Amino acid sequence: MSGPFRFSASITPPGAAMSGPEAEERVVAAVVEAILGHRIPPGTRLVERELGKASGASRSAIRNGLLRLAQAGLVELSPNKGASIAQCSPEEARHVFEARIAIETSTARTLAERMTASDRARLEAFIEEERHAYEAGRMEDARHLSRRFHLLLAELAGNPVLTGFVRDLINRQPLLSWGSRDHKPRFCGNEAHRAIVAALAAGDGEKAARLNAEHLRELESELGAERGNTLPAGEEAASGAGAPAGNQ
């Protein structure tokens, strides 16, 4: 029942057997990319042998990579049973969103205080790029940029510890949307991001933080509402009660 899917992306330039931390990094990156690209559903088993064939990495490198992924919350390791893509319960999804709001609220405030002209230029250029992707219908790119936007805010705030947390949380995001009806990932609208940048540019960290929190809550409630159709959720549905099944 778990998953008819198999992870079998060919990543290696043929004949290249990478070694060491490089191979490990490659395995991690491949799995993360597949998750972000919404190509592996939660529950998919990650067999060491398959990963080895696909990536050309040694078994120990794969093992280390899986360990790192497990600590990032992206895969689950059960003893003697191996690794599989993590399955997020609706409750966990709520926790991830709450954590993002907590941390990004802080980074938004910090960034508003320290923002330089260069930061502002970079953010506005980023928003433009995001808009172009949307308008050109390049949804894959738009999704990527949309995630990258939140990470960029954290990076510019200048706290690597918080940035690391945000990265992990963002990477988990696609796993949450697999519960929705059409299995299509939700992503942020460009307008919301534009408003946040405007608030930051005006030095209003409080407003930027508030907008960002509302933005994330909306994203969560869309997810929750869709999930409400497929799951007989009792208590969890309370948060998404206001927005019935409006999807596209």
Stretches 60-68, 129-137, 195-203, 224-232: which one binds DNA (CB under 7 A)?
Answer: 60-68
Sign (positive or negative) of CA dihedral 94, 184, 214, 123: positive
Q: Report strand pairing: 75-78 vs 82-85.
A: antiparallel
Task: Say which entry of DNA, a second copy, none residue 99 contacts (CB below 5 to 8 A, set by partner kind).
Answer: a second copy
Minimum CB distance to DNA, residue 247 (Å): 31
Minimum CB distance to a second copy, residue 50 (Å): 21
Amino acid at site 175? L
Among 8, 21, 91, 121, binds DNA (CB under 7 A): 21
The three-state secondary structure class of 95 is helix
Among 46, 103, 175, 219, binds a second copy (CB under 8 A): 103
DSSP of 24-39? HHHHHHHHHHHHHTT-
Amino acid at site 9? A
Binders of a second copy among residues 161 to 220 (CB under 8 A) are 161-162, 165, 169
Distance of CA 140 to the CA centre of its chain: 13
Q: Which of 145/157 has CB closer to a second copy? A: 157
What single DSSP character describes residue 119? H
How many of the other CB atoms lie within 10 Å of CB of 50? 14
- Answer yes or no whether residue 58 interacts with DNA by CB under 7 A: yes
- Answer yes or no whether residue 106 interacts with a second copy by CB under 8 A: yes
- Answer yes or no whether residue 233 interacts with DNA by CB under 7 A: no
What is the spatial distance between Cα 24 and Cα 86, in angstroms, rounded to a whole number?
19
Binding residues for a second copy, how many (CB under 8 A)?
Answer: 28
Minimum CB distance to DNA, residue 124 (Å): 43
The three-state secondary structure class of 77 is strand
- Answer yes or no whether residue 23 interacts with DNA by CB under 7 A: yes
What is the spatial distance between Cα 219 and Cα 147, in angstroms, rounded to a whole number?
12
Residue 131 corresponds to which tokens in the numbers above?
A: 């808009």
Tokens 């050109």 sit at which residue?
Answer: 136
Binders of a second copy among residues 49 to 68 (CB under 8 A) are 63-64, 67-68
Stretches 41-49, 153-161, 177-185, 186-194: which one binds DNA (CB under 7 A)?
Answer: 41-49
Sign (positive or negative) of CA dihedral 27, 18, 167, 79: positive
Residues that bind DNA (CB under 7 A): 17, 19-21, 23, 45-49, 58-61, 63, 77, 79-83
Residues that bind a second copy (CB under 8 A): 20-21, 63-64, 67-68, 71-73, 79, 92, 95-96, 98-99, 101-103, 105-107, 110, 159-162, 165, 169
